Amino acid sequence: LLVLAACGNDTQQKPAGPTTAAAPVQAVTLKLAETWGPNYPIFGDATKKLAAMVDEMSGGRLRITIDSANKHKAPLGVLDMVKSGQYDMGHSASYYWKGKDPNTLYFTSMPFGMTAPEQHAWFYYGGGMELMEKVYAKHGVLSFPGGNTGNQMGGWFRKEINSVDDLQGLKMRIPGFAGEVLAKVGAKPTNIAPGELYTALERNTIDALEWVGPSLDLRMGFHKIAPYYYTGWHEPGTELQFIVNRKSWDALPDDLRAILRTAMQAVAYDMYSRAYHDSAENWVAMKREFPEIQVKTFPREVLVALKKANEELLAEFAAADPLAREIIDSLAAYQTKARAWTAISDQAYLNSMPE
Amino acid sequence: MTGIVMFVVALVLLLLGFPVAFTFGGVAVLFGVLAQGWDLFALMPFRVYSIMQNTVLMAVPLFIFMGVVLQKTELAEQLLESMGRLFGTLRGGLAVSTILVGALLAASTGVVGASVVAMGVISLPVMLRYGYSPALACGTICGAGTLGQIIPPSIILIILGDVLGLPVGDLFQAAVMPGLVLVVLYIAYVLTRAHVNPVSAPAIPFVGKTQAPLQQYLTALRAIVPPLSLIIVVLGSIFAGIATPTESSALGGIGAILLAVLYRKFSWSMLYASALETVKVTAMVFAILLGATAFSMAFSYTGGDQAVEGFLLQLPGEKWGFLVFSMLVILVLGFFIDFVEISFIVVPILAPIAEALDISMLWFAVLIAMNLQTSFLTPPFGFSLFYLKGVAPPQVTTLDVYRGVVPFILIQLAVLLSILITPAIYGLN
Amino acid sequence: MNQATLKLQRAFERFADTLGVISAVLLLGLVANVFYDVVMRYLFNDVSIGMQELEWHLFSAIFLLGTAYALKVDGHVRVDLVYERLPPRRQALIDMVGTVVFIWPFCLLVADYGIDFAAEAYSIGEISGDPGGLPMRWIIKGMIPLAFACVVVTSIGFLLRALHRYHGIDVATARRSGLS
Ligand code: NA
Ligand code: NA
């Protein structure tokens, strides 16, 4: 899962850099609240880049000021604050709002779902944006892709998972929908305050936890206390979101709207590259400094059970709400289509590659 | 600018003596609404809700409950008195015992509000009854109660780990030595003070002269074991992985009840009175947090944090100059702003500079943690001081508390300096 | 300053006491709740997110409702460097002015915006996002406006007590009760 800034994070934000031109007339300032701290790697940089980009592209007519979690103190209040107009924009992750609106769940990443490129294709060309708009319309908010972390790791485990039996009673910190899937096969998702995660894992209060991936796990130090690093299954391409208050958006002149839209798309892609880069770099560092880390993949039997649980849950969600069904069907259909291409392109290429 | 005015106004108004929590809240309304309009306060429920969801803070009521039960059943008294007696004719034994118990509590919680208040409930009345000077008693409790912030687990270290991108485990390890050094120095100070000024810290006489000395020591030991083992069970439950630090404080509460039953001191009315007392003290602690979050909201949304940032960017750009000045800035800010705000406003600005100067981040983090620990004790806005005053009997004045912490602040500064000058001693660098 | 206002003060104080009783019961519930969760997890390897969430629901209700109670028993800490040296009439005046100038604007504002905050949760039917978490988030969010409103209500009793003290009638209250 994404990092939930432990209640109030990081520092005050510089306003977007000043422009060299003379003070422009009618500059618009949008206030943005983000779930993370500004110095939070990758995520925090994405909003800073957005602010710099729109400033430059608009010749200083569009400014974005960023308030990080340290300032607004409500990492999980971003949707509410944008909805109620306290802020014009937000940068967060859609699945955080699952408890407020179950249909927001599908726009971040789903277990056994699409990879980042597949999902981007779905968003921009496969009807994803339209569905996301439909879901967010009732909150008076527009939503846009806001940067992808790439495939997230399955988490740090103190013991090996060799069978579904090993999952029985496994106490794991894994929130949200993925936790529900695990619970369905007998694991015990457990809430632990982020600040106590390290101690809890170290002392075996819990058996496992999931965080993000090499790009952000290294700084948590979990590799020192849990030998097994499992590959991912539950968040194959975690997309953040920019959300914009509808009224603030409508009040923008056409050109600024175009600038903002373009900048958000550019930043989203940039963050994906950046996350890929950091994960690659950090993984090299982790392997070098901690050769004892053992990368594992869940055995087939376990993944089959998890996938089955996942499908059953999705079927329940689909049965409960027509819009949920529409989204789930769209995701599934697009994944089938995109995956067939992935199979004979990237997958085939990687598999065929000589050592 | 508004930020500075806010602090001055708050300071003056606090001196009027109206409850701290609401004075903070009122000043926040005054400045926040003037500068930003009513709607600024639409953000308050989010801030309150964040405090509500911060489960680590649950340690506050749970710890206080344990302390109150131990106090109401006189088990805490028995523990401290007996520990004090073991010192025989050596004066200051009660204060030393308080520091030792404080260090043990510190190892099981990272929430200062929890340990200071629990210590205040447990040991302040005992020390006063044995004729300790109120200032020394208060200083000892504030010092010992605030140890929780440097001795792991600790909230400061967790936040610093997050802000500086350091593994929490490494930070915890690095902070153990400085914490222990503080404990030793506190004890040394108390013993010296008791020696120089015997009236301030009398020895506890053995009751009844009939018993042989050995017998008396055994009796004292017997009295110590149960309450002390309770504290050790709390600690042990964390190390054994039975409970998280927060949860361990609930085990402490249950354990205290069991002890009461064991000693035939349990009654339902005692339990109810303990719960009610806990509610009152907990509310006192959290009301301050609620007022303070409103205050910090008004401060940062009226541009206060930008002012701090602008100032920080003018720090000297050479290693030792930077280190000394950044420590001074944090220390001075600590008089006014609470440690969370400092960690989030100041540290992220300093961190890249420190990194560029090739300063070891772990060392830097420990320096900051030690420095921030001091902020709990520095008047006028020292949270430990508020908390202790909140549970102190009426005859203890604010001035007693302020006066009492000065030596402990100086000790902390000395340790801070020693970490700065000779990090090698602490295994840093 | 007559029997009626004294009666009124007592009525407000009874209200505050009730909040204290509720919080005290919730506190015992919290201790039991956390203990139960630890035992279930450690001995029976069973975890319920709902029970875990109940912990912070209880915890926050305790300190929120307790804040009003603490006002009645004068549990909120003061910087009394000057205050303790003032004559009772001056102290009473500070308490009266402080109630009107500090408590009311602050608490009414938070209570007012807190209603919107809870109403939003109610209107969208917000629940926990975690497996087995608690439903009806509006209840715990509603504790914010409720608690701040309770402080305002209790503060009227606090104000009346100060008013009586100002006029030389010191009604025996639970000041410092239970402490020391
Ligand atoms: Na601690
Ligand atoms: Na201070």
Q: Walk along chain B (429 residues) in steps of 10 and give the mean pLDDT of each run.
A: 78 86 92 88 93 84 84 79 76 87 80 81 87 91 89 80 76 88 94 84 65 74 78 77 80 87 87 91 87 86 78 76 86 75 76 82 90 85 84 88 92 92 81
Partner-chain contact A99 C128, CB within 8 Å? yes
What is the predicted pLDDT for the residue at A128?
94
Nearest-CA distance from B109 to chain A in Å? 11
Ligand 2 center from residue B334 Cα (angstroms): 5
Distance CA(B380)–CA(B20), nearest Å, equals 11
In 3D space, the residue among B404, B379, B376 whose CA is nearest the CA of residue B392 turns out to be B404
Ligand 1 center from residue B138 Cα (angstroms): 20
What is the predicted pLDDT for the residue at A1?
59
**What's the token pair of residue A347?**
């997958």
Partner-chain contact B399 C42, CB within 8 Å? no
Calculate what percentage of chain A has a pLDDT beyond 90.
Answer: 56
What is the predicted pLDDT for the residue at B228?
78
Helix axes B75-86, B93-106, angle to 10 degrees: 120
Nearest-CA distance from C148 to chain B in Å? 11
pTM confidence score? 0.84
Q: Which residue has the higher pLDDT, B203 or A161?
A: A161
Instruction: Give C140's contacts in chain A (Cβ within 8 Å).
Output: none
Instruction: List chains adjacent to chain C, taking adjacency as at least 3 C-beta pairs closer than 8 Å.
Output: A, B
In 3D space, the residue among B134, B68, B73, B143 whose CA is nearest the CA of residue B103 turns out to be B143
Position A307 confidence tier, pLDDT thresholds 50, 70, 90? very high
Position A12 confidence tier, pLDDT thresholds 50, 70, 90? very low
**Are B96 and B190 in contact, with CB atoms under 8 Å apart?**
yes
**What's the token pair of residue A278?**
């950091």
Cβ–Cβ contacts within 10 Å for residue A106, how many?
Answer: 24
Q: What is the pLDDT of residues C48-94, one digit of tens each?
A: 888 888 999 999 999 999 999 999 988 888 877 788 888 988 999 99
What is the predicted pLDDT for the residue at A344?
93
Calculate what percentage of chain C has a pLDDT beyond 70.
Answer: 93
**pLDDT mean over A160-165:** 90
Ligand 1 center from residue B156 Cα (angstroms): 9
Ligand 2 center from residue B374 Cα (angstroms): 7
Name the residue type at position B101. Answer: V
Position A13 confidence tier, pLDDT thresholds 50, 70, 90? very low
Mutate one of A3, A9, A10, A11 to test the B interface: name it (highest B CB count within 10 A): A11
Find where tokens 């004292």 sit. B220
What is the predicted pLDDT for the residue at B235?
75
Distance CA(B165)–CA(A137), nearest Å, equals 37
Q: Which residue has the higher pLDDT, B293 or A57?
A: A57
Distance CA(A217)–CA(A229), nearest Å, equals 11
Q: Which residues of chain C have pLDDT under 70?
A: 1, 170-180
Distance CA(B387)–CA(B379), nearest Å, equals 12
Nearest-CA distance from A200 to chain B in Å? 6
- Is A203 at the interface with chain B, CB within 8 A? yes
Residue A349 CB-density burial (10 A; 0-12 exposed, 13-18 middle, 19+ buried) = exposed
Residue A146, helix vs strand vs coil: strand
Interface of B with A in 108-127 (CB under 8 A): 110
Residue A15 pLDDT > 70:
no
In 3D space, the residue among B144, B9, B4, B128 whose CA is nearest the CA of residue B77 turns out to be B128
Beta-bridge partners for A65: A31
| Closest CA in chain A for residue C124 | A100
What is the predicted pLDDT for the residue at C177?
36
**B318 DSSP assignment:** S
Residue A18 pLDDT > 60:
no
Instruction: Give B244's contacts in chain A (Cβ within 8 Å).
Output: 192-193, 196, 199-200, 205
Minimum-distance CB partner of C56 among B21, B55, B284 = B55
Nearest-CA distance from C6 to chain A in Å? 42
Distance CA(B74)–CA(B68), nearest Å, equals 10
Mutate one of C31, C82, C154, C173 to test the B interface: name it (highest B CB count within 10 A): C31
Cβ–Cβ contacts within 10 Å for residue A309, how many?
Answer: 18
Q: What is the pLDDT of residues A198-255, one digit of tens each?
A: 878 887 778 898 887 776 777 777 888 888 999 989 889 999 999 999 999 999 999 9
Instruction: List chains adjacent to chain A, taking adjacency as at least 3 C-beta pairs closer than 8 Å.
Output: B, C
